Each structure stands twice: as structure tokens, then as C-alpha cells.
Amino acid sequence: MTRPNVLTLRRWRELDPAEQARIMGRATATILDPKLLAQIGEIYADVAARGDQAVADATAKWDKATIRADQLLVSQAAIDEAHATIDPALLEAIRVAIAQVRAFNEAQLAASPDWRRETRPGVVVGERHHPIPSAGLFVPCGKGSFPSVLVMIGVPALVAGVKEIIVVVPPVPGSDRVDPGVLATARELGITRILRANGPAGIAAVVLGTETIGRVAKVVGPGSPAVIAAQVLAQLHGVGTNMLCGPSESLVLADDSADIVRLTADLLNEAEHGADSAALLVTDSLKVVEAVDAEMARQIAALPEERAAYARSALSELGGAFLFDTIDEATAFAGDYAPEHLQIATRDPEATMTRLTYAGEVLLGQNSPVSAANFVIGVPATLPTGGFARINGGVTARTFMTTASVASLTEDGLRSLAPATLALADHEGFPAHANALRIRGMG
């Protein structure tokens, strides 16, 4: 490939198994590193022992923000001030995003209501759904300002009907302030409890509970490896989470019909998030790779240096161009990789999607960029990373719901199932199970 070589080019079949495993594993090894987990475990232990003061101390140590233990919760006055002074254009954009995300989640719940069905005479089964009682929502701050994250995880929680919501957000680097865009978004959503704290310590606070912070049932939100490690450890304390949400990753599956300028811009979308992000161009066309590489040099030069540095890393260390012999092989790889964001830039995106397996989201065609999905389309933007799209989906209203199965049997219905019930109970050695039917005169 000719210079400037912004994209690292890899021919997948020529990579040794260790390099293939590294690419497939992306940043997961960092998140699950025993040293990091041990360090986060120490923060948990400190919060368990010292409560609010431990959270304040961790925020001073790691975020260089001096916040007293009795000031961890943002005041209503500060929330109101942020809302009153924010750029009107930004506030309108937040409202558009809220409306779109609300529409998606309301439609999702409408499509999966409580249900009942008779599976045989006298046997009725079904499901009922109920919101979880409380949720902790983590919104990152450091590499950028993320009111959109609060929209993406706050609206689903509200649509689901969660009664108690607390937002955890680190202060703006070098200050004790919370990003005003996040505060204004919280006010639009009617969320009043906002904990400004170091990420892992704040998550530990809502997982364990402190003097002023109530314990939640589930904690979700994207973040750094340390933040995601804190969510992994939350499960040891009986608090649920949505595995894993970070660092960012995207994959664009393209053939030679793709518009190169748009393709390049869409690759840069997630690449600018951080040095540990992964941005992959997956294709069967060397000409596409060479054209994107040349265009990438132009587009990346227009970015601020910090974002450009992030993008170069995301397009080389864990990402870049991956070349396959056929588009079918490229499509199979895309599904095996199970990316957070997957955009299809082929002649027939719908047909290509039918051959895919796993992805956090699938964006069809070059009029559906990740940037629009991240902010205002309405589909989830807090999505599983690290290959967890194979077993998990994005944060939606369902994330904040429990599902209980329901059954109702008539006497005749139970009698029809008695022989099978008794046979299994006797075989597995549970006489009380069998007696529950025999005392009813069944068997």
C-alpha cells in the first residue's frame, strides 16, 4: 500500500493465531487485568469502610477535584443554573435526542407486552414485566462532554418506570464542576440525584450504599477500563450491570461500491474516542483500502491533535484495514468480531445483513452513520463491546425490566402433566415433588 499508511493493513488469513486473538480480544484484557481488578477492589473496600469520605478522597486523588463528603451530591440550584445558561441550540439538540430515544424505547415495550397463551387444554403460560426498583447511571467525563450518554441510558430507565435513579459523573478535569450539558440533560429528564465523583469510587458508592447514597439494583454506562472493571466487580455485590460498555469500537463492512469520503469519515467517527478504541475497515477490495488510506490522511489532519492521535491509534493498534478474499468472508469475520457499532456500506446492505450474526447495532447504508446513531436516531448507543454482543444487547428499556413467568392450570390441565411430572420427580429423587401431585390424587 502506498504512503501515507494511516491505516494498518492486515490480511486476516496471513495473521498468526496470537495476533488474531489480540485483535478479537481488543481492550477486554485491559479491563479484566488482575492488577486493575485488585486496585478497583481496594476502592470498593475503602468505600465500604469509610463511605462518603472515601468517595471524596478518591475523587481528590484520581480526578484532582476537592469536594467535601457533604458536597458529593450536586445541588438543585446548580442543576437549574446549568439548564438556564446552556446554549439554546444544545438544549434543543438534547430535546430532539430525548424524543427520539423515547420513541424507540416506547415502541420496544409496546412490541413486547405482558402475554398469556394456552399451550395445551387447561395449561396457560405467559410473562409479566416489571421495572427494577433503582438504577445507577454512569456518565463519563474526561475525554469529552457526554450529555448524549445520559440521554441514551436515562430515557430507557424512565420509560421502563424505574423509580429511583442516581447519575454518577466525574467532575470536569481540573475542577469540581459537573459538565453543564449533563446537568441540563438531567433537568430535562427530571433526574435530581447526581453524584459528582471519581468513576470507580462513585460506582462503588451506588453499589454498596453510603451515608447519603442509596444502594441500586443495577448500574450501567460506558467508560474507561477502570470504570468498566468497577461494574464487573459490582456483580460480586449482587448488583447487575450490562457487560461490557467500553472502550469504543466500530467496524465498517464495505465493498467497492462504497463512497470513499463518507467511508473514511465514518471510520473516524469512533476512532477519535480514545487511544484504546478500535476502528476497523473490513473489505474484499484493496483499492478501497488504498483510497481510504489516502483520504484518511486528509481528514485526520483536520482534527485537533489529541483526537487525531486517538484516531491513529484506533486505526493501527487494534483496528485498521482487514482484507479478505471475498465479501462473504469479510461478512463472516464481521459477525465473529461482534462489534459495538457495525455499519454496512455494500451494494445491498439489507442482503448483507441477512448473512451477519452478531453486532451491538447494525447501521444500513452510508446514510446511517454512527454519529447520528450515537446522538439522535433513537437506537441504543450504549452497547456491548469486547465481543459481548454475542450474548448481550444495548441499553434499552428492557435493560431496566425484570420478566416473571406466569402459569395457570386447571385441575384437568395439571392431571394431563402429572405422569411426566411424576416420572421426572421419581428419577431425580425428589419425593416431595411427587407427593405434591399424589396427594391431589394424581398418580
Does 333 share its domain with 314? yes
| CATH code: domain of residue 137 | 3.40.50.1980
**Catalytic-labelled residue, pool 340, 361, 427, 428:** 340
Angle at CA of residue 101, ends 97 and 107, nearest 5°? 150
**189 backbone dihedrals φ, ψ, rounded to 5°:** -90, -10
Q: For position 3, what pLDDT does the model report? A: 47
Instruction: Report yes or no on 109 lying in a domain.
Output: yes
- On whether both 256 and 124 belong to a single domain, the answer is no
The answer to whether residue 402 is domain-embedded is: no
pTM here?
A: 0.93
Q: Say if residue 191 is in the same domain as residue 234.
A: yes
Q: Are residues 280 and 369 in the same domain?
A: yes
Range of the domain at 22: 9-26+247-378
| 299 in a structural domain | yes
- 361: which residues sit within 8 A by CB, 6+ positions away? 340, 341, 342, 373, 379, 380, 381, 383, 394
One domain, residues 18 and 92: no
Q: Are residues 39 and 152 in the same domain?
A: yes
Is 340 catalytic? The answer is yes
264 shares a domain with 215: no
- From the candidates 273, 295, 341, 361, which is the catalytic residue? 341
Report the length, in residues, of the chain: 443
Taking the C-alpha atoms of residue 310 and residue 271, their distance in angstroms, rounded to an integer, is 7
Q: Choose one of 241, 272, 303: the last residue of a domain.
A: 241
Strand bridging mode 278-283 / 320-323: parallel
pLDDT in tens, the chain (443 residues): 444 578 999 999 999 999 999 999 987 878 888 999 999 999 999 999 999 999 999 999 999 999 999 999 999 999 999 999 999 999 999 999 999 999 999 999 999 999 999 999 999 999 999 999 999 999 999 767 799 999 999 999 999 999 999 999 999 988 999 999 999 999 999 999 999 999 999 999 999 999 999 999 999 999 888 999 999 999 999 999 987 787 889 999 999 999 999 999 999 998 999 888 999 999 999 999 999 999 999 999 999 999 999 999 999 999 999 999 999 999 999 999 999 999 999 999 999 999 999 999 999 999 999 999 999 999 999 999 999 999 999 999 999 999 999 999 999 999 999 999 999 999 999 999 999 999 999 98
C-alpha atoms less than 13 angstroms from C-alpha of 399 in its C-beta half-sphere: 29
Q: Which CA distances in Å does 443 have to 374, 389, 419, 430, 434?
A: 59, 47, 7, 15, 9
Q: Are 143 and 289 found together in one domain? A: no
The Cα–Cα gap between 396 and 402 comes to 13
Residue at which a domain ends, from 207, 241, 275 = 241
> Do 79 and 177 fall into the same domain?
yes
User: How many domains is the chain built from?
Assistant: 3
Q: Is residue 70 part of a domain?
A: yes
Q: Is residue 385 part of a domain?
A: no
Same-domain status, 103 and 143? yes
Say whether both 236 and 255 belong to one domain: no
Identify residue 170 by its one-letter amino acid code.
P
Angle among Cα 218, 196, 52 to the nearest 5 degrees reads 80
pLDDT of residue 139: 97
Q: Would 190 be classed as within a structural domain?
A: yes
The neighbour count for residue 408, using CB atoms within 10 Å, is 12
Domain assignment present for residue 395? The answer is no
Q: Are residues 252 and 236 in the same domain?
A: no
Last residue of a domain, one of 378, 401, 431: 378
274 part of a folded domain = yes
How large is the angle between the packed helices 225-234 and 34-50, nearest 10 degrees?
60
Q: How far apart are CA 162 and CA 190, in angstroms?
A: 12
Three-state secondary structure string covering 199-257: HHHHHHHHHHCCCCCCCCCEEECCCCHHHHHHHHHHHHHCCEECCCCCCCEEEEEECCC
